[in-house]
Structure 1
Amino acid sequence: MSRPGTTGYGSRTRALVDRGVVAVTMGWADNNGVLRSRTVPVERLADAGRTGVGVTPLFAVFDSHDRIVFGPPGLETPSGDVRLVPAAGPEGIVPCAGRHGLAWSPGRLVAADGAPWPYDQRGVLERQVAAAAEAGLTVRAGYEIEFALYTDGDGEPPVPAFTGPVYGPNALVGLDGFVTRLLADLRDNGVPVGQFHAEYGPAQLELSIGPADPLTTADRQLLARQTIHAAAAAHGFRACLSPLPTAHSAGNGWHLHSSVSRDGTNLLARGDGRHGLTADGAAWLAGLLRHLPALAGVTAPSVPSLHRRRPGSFAAAYMVWGVENREAALRLVPANPRLGAAHANVELKASDASANPYLALACVIGAGLAGIDEGADLPDPVQQDPATWSDDERAARGVAALPVTPAEQAEALAADPVITGVLGEHVTAALRAVRASDAEFAEGKPVDEVLAAFRYRY
């Protein structure tokens, strides 16, 4: 097995031991956005860095409820082995704040001989980051993370930890211990937080992860999940990250913000086009819009994602872009004199915790690059809520709804060679298999029963 980047584990092990760490968890997200992991004693860290930990390749075809879907290339039988290794090297291993004795590392899956494994999602993102760099482009990204907090997570419906007024400080009275612990733990874990608040829905909270390069952002997103769950459990709460906790609750979006620059200039600002867009910035945004039906099948792929996609609920029901329009699937956040050109970004609303963040970011980059390569034309922005228009008005303006059924979603993904090209043959096959399995699981069941089954998977 090849051993690139395995130096430095001895000194890192000693530093972790000095911090009281006894074990390191290596985690990754599967094709449903569900986190999987292996934990090794800290004394075995160097071995894990050199040879990895054995893992079944069938994790690529676990569905959201841990059923194994055989069939994609090389995954037709239970035979085989891949290796889980620390993805970010020795320095990427973080002692877990608030969880004394444990450390965390993002993981990646490689073939038994150390070669790249075609189902490894991190590799998909690395290829797109490299493609952007080859085109002279730099991408940065960040997440807004929404989640619900319950005092009785096993109840049906679950009991909210607080009620309104929405967005108000009084909603959080009684949660001071949880709030301060969560923010301190995120800081100590190296996850920068832009802001935190009570959101619109009952028991709903939101925090934003500061922008970084795509790989760092995906790594931080996984760590943020674990930090949220640990802080909630420490205070007797249960956190729900699912796209839609109950049929009558607000949905949890994990809005994905991204920007693209060339030679230090943000292409979404400092242009002489509409709203400050450069020509390539407009083409980037047009690429996201053009590929949105298939893109949403990767960034918001689950059955709860589709139930969340309701008109009039800030959940990206229609295929439009707008300037600061929170009902638009793509919301341009323009530059302004107070924040400067670097602040300009585009927010993807059709994004949630059921997405693998590496695949989500890879497909955003791939769609944007395709838009620039093709010189895609950006239509006029939509500044209203298309749900308030009649069917005839939407048809006249060329506004289509995003997929709302598993069948529509599967068709959109299959019909888009750009998005499937980003994913590659193997990951596309795995995604299609697990999505079909989840759809079969949900078919014929009441909506509340389906949502309850997904509620704590993420």
Structure 2
Amino acid sequence: MTSSDVPLDVRGVTTALSDAGVAGVTISWADNNGIPRARIVPVAALPRVAEVGVGVTPLFAVFDSSDAITFAHEGLSTPSGDVRLVPVLERLVRLAGQPALAWTPGRLVDADGGPWPYDQRAVLERQVEALAAAGLTALVGYEMEFGVYAEGGPDELVPAHPGPAYSPHALVAVDGFVADVLRDFAANGLEIGQLHAEYGPAQMELSLAATDPVTAADRQLLARQTLRAAARRHGLRLSFAPLPATAAAGNGWHIHSSLWRDGHNLLAGTAQGPGADGAAYVAGLLRDLPAVAAISAPSIGSLARLRPGFFAGVYAVWGVENREAPLRYVPGTSLLGNDHANIELKTSDASANPYLAVAALLAAGAAGVAEGLRLDPPVQSDPGSWSAEERAARGVAALPSTQAEQEDALRTNPRVTAVLGEELLGAFLAVRRSDAAAADGRSPDDVLAGLRWRY
């Protein structure tokens, strides 16, 4: 990078932060396990950091979910080298819940400031550019489920609220936390659609308003930071893990998306489904769903969460408002407007890198539009309640249920692998294999306990 790339007002931003009592800036990104990583720099150093970034090891691309480094990927097989983490200052916010800090997402570039093939945010930026070249834009929004627990021993899960599911009474026990979440989200520029006690014990959910894809991924990371700071102030612990324990409710981080052309939502249609282009978008997602899910729900915990009857989306189908379908079409209504229509990907969770997950989803759907794919009729019941013969007769298969099956689905899908590129795909798969090897021979509860607080 050169000084011409530094925003003209960076010194003014630095002065304003310092005058407001901000001591440092957290520059955050997500690794190939969906785990946020960060560097904090003194606020006075921000003008220089905006120009040249800060040094980090390229091996973050091959950290696995337990922070072990795998050298199995040839492109990152030694401890040597350095890359630069550059703040995206147009996304900088002062953290309401951590007033001595500001926060910004970061880009990873090579040592000379050029593109680095393992930078996940750049993958999504390129996919957005590809949509624009085809005359398309997208809106993306997240639903985030998480468990809220009181402080306990390292292996304890002490529910912080008693339920009942979806009841206002449940959240009285964590009223101060809820109030801080609402205030801090607003102050940090995060628009909440709704917040409530979810179905599982100690579980909550909030939804983030839809926005452009890169902003949606950035805000998902900022939402995590905001939630954790609010929880800490009230002596609470949050688990974003796909499945905190085998007896716990699974946490999905569902991705809602819509595709637009010339101001028109292609997902708009009727209560039975979208119009032709929107149907092609859904058909593209359905065709590539095993490969997309290998990125959007990639961890051992993700696979453990995929249980029939738990609204997790085990079988590769789409449905209209069918919560057992991994692709749930949400139609517009006369109350909300036809342009409210979107498709929800339920096989998505916190162990996904949000930039990669959204990029894979958009690429798969856009390919369906480009090819004019036709969409089979929706499935409106739970395929898990059918016999194996009924599923076979209707051509309904389960999504991959092991790391090896996910890898095969991803490797054999040219559209999704092209989104990642050869280098990043290699690192991503090396990390998945490292996780699988670490889990081999251990009990499910032991593996899940190790992931419980990681995300």
Residues 285 and 371, structure 1, Cα contact 8 Å, conserved in 2: yes
- What residue in structure 2 maps to residue 6 of structure 1? 6
- Contact 1:2/1:115 (8 A) holds in 2: no
> How far has the Cα of 1:100 moved from its partner?
1.8
The answer for unaligned runs of 5 or more in structure 2 is none
- Partners of 2:80 and 2:99 lie apart in 1 by 37
Check if 1:376 corresponds to 2:377: no
Deviations 1:360-406 (A, max 9, x none): 11001100111112221211100000000000000000000001111
Q: Relative to structure 1, is the Cα distance of residues 147 and 10 closer, same or farther in structure 2, using a 3 angstrom cutoff?
A: same
The 2-side partners of 1:4 and 1:457 are apart by 38
Looking at structure 1, the residues matched to 111 and 420 of structure 2 have their Cα atoms a distance apart, in angstroms, of 22
1:400-419 alignment to 2 at 5 Å? 400-419=397-416
Aligned amino acid, residue 429 of structure 2: R
Q: CA deviation at 1:162?
A: 1.3
Gapped regions of structure 1 (runs ≥ 5): none
Give the Cα separation in 2 of the matches to 1:420 and 1:457: 26
Find 1:319's aligned residue among 309, 316, 319: 316
Contact 2:271 2:320 in 1 (8 A): no
Aligned Cα RMSD in Å? 1.2
**Counterpart residue number, 2:146:** 147
AA aligned to 1:415 is T
- On the 8 A contact 1:95/1:189 being kept in 2, the answer is yes
TM-fit CA distance, 1:153: 4.6
| 8 Å Cα contact 1:286/1:377 also seen in 2 | yes
Report 1:235-314 matches (<5 A).
235-270=234-269, 275=272, 277-314=274-311
Distance in 2 between the 1:70 and 1:155 partners?
30
Structure 2 contact 271–331 (Cα < 8 Å) conserved: no
User: Letter of the aligned partner of 1:323 in structure 2?
Assistant: V
In 2: Cα distance, 1:37 partner to 1:365 partner? 27
Aligned to 1:175: 174
TM-score (structure 1 length as normaliser)? 0.97
Question: Alignment partner of 1:378: what SS?
Answer: coil
DSSP-derived class of the 2:430 partner: helix
Over residues 82-136 of structure 1, what are the superposed CA-to-partner deviations in whole Å (9 max), with x where a residue is unaligned? 000112x2x3211100212111010110011111100000110011000101111
Which amino acid counterpart does residue 81 of structure 2 have in structure 1?
G
Separation (CA, whole Å) in 2 of partners of 1:153 and 1:354: 24
Q: How much does 1:174 deviate? A: 2.0
Q: How many residues align?
A: 454
CA distance in 2, matches of 1:344, 1:5: 39
- Corresponding residue SS for 2:5: coil
How far did residue 5 of structure 1 move?
Answer: 3.2
With normalisation by structure 2, the TM-score equals: 0.98
Query: 1 CA distance for matches of 2:421 and 2:4?
Result: 24
Query: Residue deviations 1:7-60, cap 9 Å, x none?
Result: 221011011112211100100000000111000000000111001000000100
4+ runs deviating over 2 angstroms: 1-5, 71-74, 152-157, 273-276
What is residue 229 of structure 1 aligned with on the other side?
228
User: Alignment partner of 2:209: what SS?
Assistant: strand
* Structure 1 residues 153 and 289: CA distance shift in structure 2, 3 A: farther
- How far the C-alpha of 1:440 sits from its partner, in A, is 0.6
C-alpha deviation, 1:274, in angstroms = 7.7
Tell me how far apart the structure 2 counterparts of residues 274 and 52 of structure 1 sit (CA, whole Å).
49
Amino acid at match of 2:168: P
The answer as to whether partners of 2:273 and 2:320 remain within 8 angstroms in 1 is no
Match of 2:65 in 1: 64
